[in-house]
Amino acid sequence: MKKIFLLAVVFIFITNATSAQSQPYVILISFDGFRWDYPDRGLSPNIELMKENGVAASSLRPCFPSKTFPNHYAIVTGMYPENNGLIANSMYDPYHHRKYALSDSVAVKDGRWYLGEAFWETAERNGITTASYFWPGSEMNPAYRRPTYFEHYDHAKPLQDRVEGIIHWLTLPPNQRPHFLT
């Protein structure tokens, strides 16, 4: 909880800093299975703090199927799963005779599955440094489709280490700091 508080403080500092206004910071946070109205219940003060000092969705309607990878990739591409390539967490492509599964580290790096262009790709092409911590599609090949900074998914990595990694990115020197993070 202390690390989430620290992340909230860094988030507020970064978003309110004078230099941040010329090139704003966008931090996209997703809590899988977290109802949109949980922060309003008074049970998550640090998330409430970020919401009060940033932007939050007033509601969310998941794409079909309501699975993690298809929905998270739809969020960063603006494309429905049937168009962005990720129609399920696990699937088989009979045309190309290959399998995709979120637990398959080789498949998740195969850029052929990801048909949409993620926000970080567009931002990078426009000179904006980006970072992604465990977001579907962020570790794909070829490398030019990835954010400047990213982490290969590691289920065993403790939450505290994940938060510290994001804090590290947000405290890099301004010319190295990412301005779009997932």
Query: Which residues form the catalytic set?
Result: 68
Contact 138, 182 (CB under 8 A): yes
Residue type, 92: Y
CA gap 116, 27 in Å, rounded: 20
CA gap 100, 89 in Å, rounded: 8
The angle subtended at Cα 108 by Cα 102 and Cα 112, nearest 5°, is 130
Backbone φ, ψ for residue 68 (5° rounding): -60, -60
CA gap 181, 163 in Å, rounded: 12
Beta-carbon count within 10 A of 152 CB: 11
Distant-in-sequence, close-in-space partners of 66: CB < 8 Å, separation ≥ 6: none
**Which strand (E) or helix (H) includes residue 162?**
helix 159-170
